[in-house]
Amino acid sequence: MPVNINYFRKISRWLPVLLMVLIFQNACKKENISGPVVTGLRAISPAPNDSTLTQVTPGQIVVIKGYNFNGLQGVLFDGYSASVNTALNTNATIVITVPSGILFSSLSSDVANTIKVITTHGEIVYKFSVVPPPPVISSISDEFAHGGDTITLSGSYLYTIQSVQFPGDHTVTNVLNADTAGASFQVVVPDGITPGDADSAAVITEGGTGKAPFNNTYGMIADFEWGSPTFGWQYWGGIMGSDASKFPGGWGNYIEIDPSSEIGANDGAWYANNRAVMIASSAWEGVNIADPPANYALKFQMFVKNPWTAGSLEIAINGNFNNLATYAPWKQTSNGMFMTNGWVTVTIPLSSFVDGSGKPASNVSALTGGNPGATVQIMLYNNGTTPVVNFDAAFDNVRVVKTN
């Protein structure tokens, strides 16, 4: 069959035009793909718990609902980028974890409470409530502070604070020195607070409410007050005092460890020279001795008057020197010195009472000798080579409390 050369020449003239038309049509198709649309969020849990959400918190796994999610490039919550796993996503759903590092205290108004979805063919900003988790209070610098005292509350998610409620319905809205990461803040204690056995301070934020014991006498084993059912002192070891000019801001009687001379190297004679707080045996309120020690803590108030630069407090329960807890806060300071500006709360987890290999007891019963409570000894040792000089500290309100 003869080949028509003129026919192919005519076609070849039009090939560039046809090619341009095809490219133009394909570009139009791409341009006509609409941007992503978000219609809502739901929980990741299967039915019947896969309910529509009205707010989310950092660390929460959620499903973003909508369409045109193909070509997903990124998702931002309050301006913070979330990790995208394309294998979990479809054109209509995005399974994603809300970023945990959102600093709510420093969000600008244009990104707060927004979810931004970015794809290859567009993006959308969806208004949605992103709130911090409920605040967690891990410690209060002075759990028995008086009205007018400034205390520090430490923990996590301590931002967007709306108020702090103290026992007796005393509310404070002015907080001081709030950490931008939500790790701590300060507040002035209001007047009119009295101790009780169920009292706590509550921090209210946009994320919820967190509580911690404050002026709470539950679990008290020694308050050193004459006539008190929790007097607790064994009448030796340290010095009973009540001089408010020496240790101001206290609650009456205290026990003072104030050796009359320096403590030389490797001196463990805790029983001499006013070097111990000796607490009598009593039933520990609310303690199940079958529980692991990690569920409880020994707490006490302490006022360290002079710089503490050597030695340690060794603490024994039930006279058991095979399971001691050691407290030497000067070792954790940058300058090797520890001193308090007034009374502070010290927390010693019962899991810190360890044997020679560093292993805690299997349960509280192993610490108390099987009894519902036991004696407690707080003793000043010097296991180092540097003398302990001018140590002077007071102790009060010793208690055993549940922490977990």
pLDDT of residue 33: 73
User: Model-level pTM?
Assistant: 0.83
pLDDT tens column, 242-264: 999 999 999 999 999 999 999 99
Place of tokens 């979805």: 117
Place of tokens 């005519």: 10
CB 340 within 8 A of CB 248: no
pLDDT of residue 72: 97
pLDDT of residue 106: 87
Residues of the chain by 3-state class (helix, strand, coil), percent to 5: 10, 35, 50
**Class of the CATH-defined domain 136-213:** mainly beta
CB 360 within 8 A of CB 353: yes
Tell me the sheet residues that pair with 299. 347, 399
Residues of the chain with pLDDT under 70: 1-32, 47-50
pLDDT of residue 129: 95
pLDDT of residue 198: 76
DSSP annotation of 26 reads H
What's the rounded Cα separation, in Å, for the pair 175 and 192? 19
Report residue 58 as tokens.
């950092």
Tell me the sheet residues that pair with 76. 81, 116
pLDDT of residue 21: 45
pLDDT of residue 62: 96
- At a CB cut-off of 8 Å and minimum separation 6, what does 3 contact? none
Number of H helices, E strands in the chain: 2, 26
What's the rounded Cα separation, in Å, for the pair 207 and 182? 12
b/e per residue 154-168 (b: at least 16 CB within 10 A): bbbbbbbbeebbbbe
Q: Do domains 37-130 and 136-213 have the same CATH topology?
A: yes
CB 280 within 8 A of CB 319: no
The architecture in CATH of the region 220-402 reads Sandwich (2.60)
pLDDT of residue 51: 85
Element (H, E) at 304: strand 296-304
What's the rounded Cα separation, in Å, for the pair 73 and 281? 65
pLDDT of residue 24: 46
CB 286 within 8 A of CB 219: yes
**Class of the CATH-defined domain 37-130:** mainly beta
CB 162 within 8 A of CB 189: no
Q: Spell out the domain ranges in the chain.
A: 37-130, 136-213, 220-402
What is the SS3 assignment for 112?
A: coil
Place of tokens 């104030």: 258
Place of tokens 């039009």: 14
What's the rounded Cα separation, in Å, for the pair 214 and 147? 12
